[in-house]
Structure 1
Amino acid sequence: MSIATGDSLESRLLARMSKRTVDDRIKRVESPGGKPLSFAQRRLWFLDQLEPGSAEYVIPFGYAVEGALDLAALESAFSGLVARHEVLRTRFVTGEDGEPVQVVDGAWRVPVEVVDLRDVADEAERETRARAAVDAGVGGTFDLSSGRLLRVTVVRLADDRQLLAMAIHHIVADGWSVSVLTDELREFYTAALSGRAVELAELPIRYGDFALWQHEWLTPEREERQLGYWRESLAGIEPLELPTDRPRPLHRSGAGDAVTFRVGAEVAKGLQDIASAQGASLFMAGLAAFQVLLSRWSRQDDIAVGTPIAGRNRAEVENLVGFFVNTLVMRSDLTANPSFTDLLGQVRETALGAFGHQDLPFERIVEELAPERDLSRNALFQVMFALQNVPESAWTLPGLSIETIEVATHASKFDLTLFLTEQSDGSLDAEIVYSTELFDRATVDRLAGHYTRLLDAVVADPARPVGEFDVLTGAEREQVLRTFNDTTVPYEDDTTVTALFERQAARTPDATAVTFEGTRLTYAELNARANQLAHHLTDLGITAGDLVTVCLDRGTDMIVALLGVTKAGAAYVPLDPDYPAARLEFMLSDTRAPLVVTQSHLADRLPGTAAHVLIDADWDTIAAHADTDPVPQSGPQDLAYII
């Protein structure tokens, strides 16, 4: 998607930048051996080498066409476009030096694949098959070395009703190109119907000329000046860590979906007024609000968001089909909890600086600042924001009524992308395209709701610190403040911990109950050992209410001892074997415990005032007892332990 900036602050800035000297103009250059790929094309070519035939970078668009569509004229029109724009008949191949080059073939006749469903009587079946045909037409892959990166499908539903689907690879086109293609397709189609010559001005250059010029223009000196700005502005950038519904996959498939919503005209005007008062644009205000929301969701203060720009700031390329879009990174610092107006001022300066250094291809910034690539993430940013100032105009063909239709699924190259489009009534149409590998639709619905409520709050009080804006609904606030904090649950207050443990051992005897340094006891094993110790303690005279001290190293023996003492009806008194001898003697004397459960290597640390049960050395004797649950000797009201 490109940004149609209209008469915005950004467009005035770009217009000033586009006043180049004569020597800086792009010229036609013949290159029999092929021309280099533009920097943007090189990135897509490289990604295609990693995953050949990926459909992630295919641009689909489709239309419902009412009226008698002339298929011969349509095929002639598309073929005319291919003959006019070299990029549509360009192959991308590897040269002798291992570098990719563009090789332009001769014009080729574009075949229009026709799927005729007029004889399908059942309307529901016809619509289902039509949708499948459209999705197949736009969802297929392309071979970049074929030179045929445009595909057209017509689905005939009736004599005067059809669907027109087109797919084109991103390496030869962008959002702006789609407008060029549809405008010129109208002229080619009209000329074919009437048998007249096409009335289009000759193109001053070809896309290959732009790619060659781009490489020559970006001298080491210019590149270093541009890189210096981006090094400074993006130094120390960290990935945005939004809370996802699923772990991030090692490799992204691009699977996505979209949530649409609307920002009312009153709120949109209020946002525009706030921006104008700060010398900013609606784009900047919408971006600032989005960064506030991302900060709130991620709990991060350093927020970097990507934004696409058309990349057509030279008159020679305005009417060319090709891949010109560049990407800028907008970074904001919310550490000091600024007011929205202060943040907007920061975003304004960042945006103007970025626009002023837009000539450096994003791919070069990535190479310089992100040498270690993570295939699960995009380089430098994970979230994108775009504003289209002018709604897309309706496309027409002679004698036909045409309406845009949704085609295929939403590919998501990023975690999230927020698109805003200004409408003629002053409102904003909004769409969040999201990765379905990371987010559920309900999560993105909630994000969209938070964005609209944030905009409402910003318009009401732009001087308020951004951290104080309330984005929650009443139901969400109730959930956070009360539901999540209501930890009261029914609990059996007429039973004991040992009884609950015995129930669990009966339910899951083979489940792991405790592990320590490679030793593992199941619930059945732990319960049996604790039962044997309890029976042994009872034989030694321990009864309900007695105190038994436990002086053991950390490990499974300690858990057996604590359970065994409580199963015998006694209360345990834990002793730390690392305490000084005097401290241990005082605790034994103070509790008057008749028995100590300990280990043979710790016995000599304890005074001889109490009998010792050595849980390791005496285990053969202990294990001779029954491993069945003992008769309960204590209840919920009795003492469990003393510390």
Structure 2
Amino acid sequence: MSARPLVIPATAQQAARWHALRSARDRSVYHITWRLGCAGRVDFDALAAAWQAVTDRHDSLRARFVAHDGELDMVIHPAVDVTARLIEPDVPDVGQAAQEFLRLAVELHTQEFHLDAGPLARLALVRIGAREELILTVHHITVDGWGTTVLLNDLSTAYASLVRGEKPVFISDAITFHGYAEKLRSEEERGRWRRSLDHWRTALDGAVLTTVAHDREPRRPTAVGDPGRTVRYRFTAQADSGRAALARELGATPFSVMLAAWQIVLARGGERELTVGVITVNRSTRSEQALVGFVSNSCLVRATVDDQASVREVATAARDATWNLLAHQGVPFPVVHAALPEETRSRLTNIKLTLNYLGPIGRDLTLGDIGLTMLQGPNRAARADMAVAYWDGDDGTLAEIEYNTEVYEEETVVRMMRDMDDVLVMAAADVDRPVGGVRVLTRSAPAAR
């Protein structure tokens, strides 16, 4: 007799994603797609077998979601057969290859996942002439960005074994998502979240979300799933050096310095009272760091930035806010949001600006011994007005900004990133300079309810 599926309650984060999808204009808004350029020819048979091995290894890749009586369950199957796709379009004109790669990436990215059927991850190899790209797409309800990195590392390990004619062997046992979900339920039931909930009620009292002033007024309030695009920005070497120097001087993380630079840009753009979103990895243990699943969390950070304040003071406050955020990041944002007073909750329903540090995900990517390069994402829907994700690449810091095309032009997004770049360079040169003397082109505004 075959083993029966394991049925567990979805986490608060997963349930929130599911509810958001029901009203999203574009359901691909919570698809995560990695486009990976390949530096060598991929053995497709080995790739397909590696994909099956990784699916067998991680329970979140064998999951689907079923709703009943207003509740959402995660159904984890003991085994799921998966297939990778090999796509070899006929492109006679080599000059059209780049356009065809992007077209196919968009097509694969936007293809709908059926949450109640699964699987909720897919892999394709696109081959045009001598060029190849891997297109890996997962649904955010089951895997987050960090988890996608773990998944890719395991895929590389399995592929390397298979091309040698060996059975895939992983260096450690997989960490199960259902075990992590059980830990969350236990923490909530035992009252482990009370202190953090008290912190967030106090920290967010009276908060109003901040956004970048729109280039044009939308016909209705911006929302999850509005039309969107991504744009890439490479920080200058001077900005990277400035961020590192300021972090050393203040005993701060490079992330908190980046947050401070963003706050200075937004404050000089018009709004002194700021509330922006930060996406945290939310993996405090080694086992959680090895987990393929949806673990990341959204937190809100407030700041008051006066013209008289020095760069040092703003960066120090951002450093302290980051430590507070990390101390209380373990409570899922939907739980925090539900615990807020109604008046506060109504103002903080849809986070408009988010900042997300992805670490060194762009470095040393491989499939076996084939080098991989992260290419610009094919997103066509926006989760927020602007969502800034940045990471440490081989040649410096890269950012990819997903933005709402109904209210912004690309040049507005690039202008904000250039302002951040300039602030990082200036801050390192004169950390005691008052922020009132900083000139930016970005304009900020309170978010409409």
Same fold judged by TM-score > 0.5? yes
**Structure 1 position 369, deviation (Å):** 2.4
Q: Deviations over 1:551-607 (max 9, x none)?
A: xxxxxxxxxxxxxxxxxxxxxxxxxxxxxxxxxxxxxxxxxxxxxxxxxxxxxxxxx
Partner of 1:403: 373
Residue of structure 2 aligned with 1:231, choices 161, 178, 201: 201
Larger radius of gyration: 1
Alpha-carbon distance in structure 2 between the residues aligned to 1:126 and 1:418: 29
**Structure 1 position 182, deviation (Å):** 1.5
Q: Is the aligned partner of 1:342 residue 2:313?
A: yes
Q: Is the aligned partner of 1:63 residue 2:33?
A: no
Q: SS state of the match for residue 385, structure 1?
A: strand
Residue of structure 2 aligned with 1:329, choices 287, 291, 300: 300
Pair 204,433 (structure 1): closer, same or farther in 2 beyond 3 Å: closer
Alpha-carbon distance in structure 2 between the residues aligned to 1:232 and 1:344: 22
Q: Is the aligned partner of 1:36 residue 2:9?
A: yes
Letter of the 1:452 partner, please give it. Answer: D
**Structure 1 position 422, deviation (Å):** 3.6
Pair 52,146 (structure 1): closer, same or farther in 2 beyond 3 Å: farther
**Structure 1 position 141, deviation (Å):** 1.4
Q: Is the aligned partner of 1:462 residue 2:423?
A: no
Q: Is the aligned partner of 1:287 residue 2:259?
A: yes
Letter of the 1:454 partner, please give it. Answer: V
Give the TM-score normalised by structure 2. 0.88
**Structure 1 position 142, deviation (Å):** 0.5
User: Which runs of 5 or more residues in structure 2 are unaligned?
Assistant: 443-449
Partner of 1:566: none
Alpha-carbon distance in structure 1 between the residues aligned to 2:27 and 2:114: 9
Contact 1:203 1:320 in 2 (8 A): no
Contact 2:151 2:292 in 1 (8 A): yes
Letter of the 2:77 partner, please give it. Answer: D
Alpha-carbon distance in structure 2 between the residues aligned to 1:307 and 1:472: 23
Letter of the 1:110 partner, please give it. Answer: V
Write out aligned runs for 1:571-586 (5 A): none
Q: Deviations over 1:441-493 (max 9, x none)?
A: 222233233222333332232212212223369xxxxxxxxxxxxxxxxxxxx
* Greater RCO, CA 8 A, separation 6+: 2
Q: Aligned pair count?
A: 439
**Structure 1 position 106, deviation (Å):** 3.5
User: Which runs of 5 or more residues in structure 1 are unaligned?
Assistant: 1-29, 474-643
**Structure 1 position 144, deviation (Å):** 0.7
Contact 2:416 2:441 in 1 (8 A): no
Letter of the 2:248 partner, please give it. Answer: S
Pair 106,441 (structure 1): closer, same or farther in 2 beyond 3 Å: same
Q: Is the aligned partner of 1:109 residue 2:78?
A: no
Q: SS state of the match for residue 147, structure 1?
A: coil
Alpha-carbon distance in structure 2 between the residues aligned to 1:421 and 1:212: 31
Pair 168,318 (structure 1): closer, same or farther in 2 beyond 3 Å: same
Q: SS state of the match for residue 212, structure 2?
A: coil
Q: Deviations over 1:349-382 (max 9, x none)?
A: 222111111111111111122757999x963742
Contact 1:134 1:153 in 2 (8 A): no
Q: SS state of the match for residue 171, structure 1?
A: coil
Partner of 1:351: 322
Partner of 2:170: 200
Residue of structure 2 aligned with 1:304, choices 272, 275, 281: 275
Q: SS state of the match for residue 218, structure 1?
A: helix
Q: Is the aligned partner of 1:451 residue 2:420?
A: yes
Q: Is the aligned partner of 1:437 residue 2:406?
A: yes
**Structure 1 position 207, deviation (Å):** 0.4
Write out aligned runs for 1:343-422 (5 A): 343-369=314-340, 371=342, 379=349, 381-390=351-360, 392-398=362-368, 400-409=370-379, 411-422=381-392
**Structure 1 position 109, deviation (Å):** 2.5
**Structure 1 position 291, deviation (Å):** 0.6
Contact 1:80 1:188 in 2 (8 A): yes
Partner of 2:445: none
Letter of the 1:175 partner, please give it. Answer: G
Alpha-carbon distance in structure 1 between the residues aligned to 2:362 and 2:144: 15
**Structure 1 position 438, deviation (Å):** 1.4
Letter of the 2:363 partner, please give it. Answer: S
Which has a greater percent of strand?
A: 2
Alpha-carbon distance in structure 2 between the residues aligned to 1:116 and 1:33: 38
Q: SS state of the match for residue 258, structure 2?
A: helix
Pair 232,142 (structure 1): closer, same or farther in 2 beyond 3 Å: same
Pair 220,232 (structure 1): closer, same or farther in 2 beyond 3 Å: farther
Alpha-carbon distance in structure 1 between the residues aligned to 2:277 and 2:189: 25
Residue of structure 1 aligned with 2:188, choices 218, 222, 237: 218
Pair 380,127 (structure 1): closer, same or farther in 2 beyond 3 Å: closer
Partner of 2:65: 92
Q: SS state of the match for residue 367, structure 2?
A: coil
Q: Is the aligned partner of 1:471 residue 2:440?
A: yes
Letter of the 1:274 partner, please give it. Answer: L
Percentage identity across aligned positions?
A: 26
Q: Deviations over 1:71-105 (max 9, x none)?
A: 2221111111111111111111124x542111112
Alpha-carbon distance in structure 2 between the residues aligned to 1:390 and 1:402: 14
Letter of the 1:304 partner, please give it. Answer: T
Q: Is the aligned partner of 1:165 residue 2:135?
A: yes
**Structure 1 position 177, deviation (Å):** 1.4
Pair 374,234 (structure 1): closer, same or farther in 2 beyond 3 Å: closer
Letter of the 2:327 partner, please give it. Answer: G
Letter of the 2:213 partner, please give it. Answer: P
**Structure 1 position 318, deviation (Å):** 2.4
Letter of the 1:250 partner, please give it. Answer: P
Partner of 1:177: 147
Q: SS state of the match for residue 238, structure 1?
A: coil
| RMSD (CA atoms) | 2.9
Give the TM-score normalised by structure 1. 0.63
Partner of 2:446: none
Q: Is the aligned partner of 1:188 residue 2:158?
A: yes
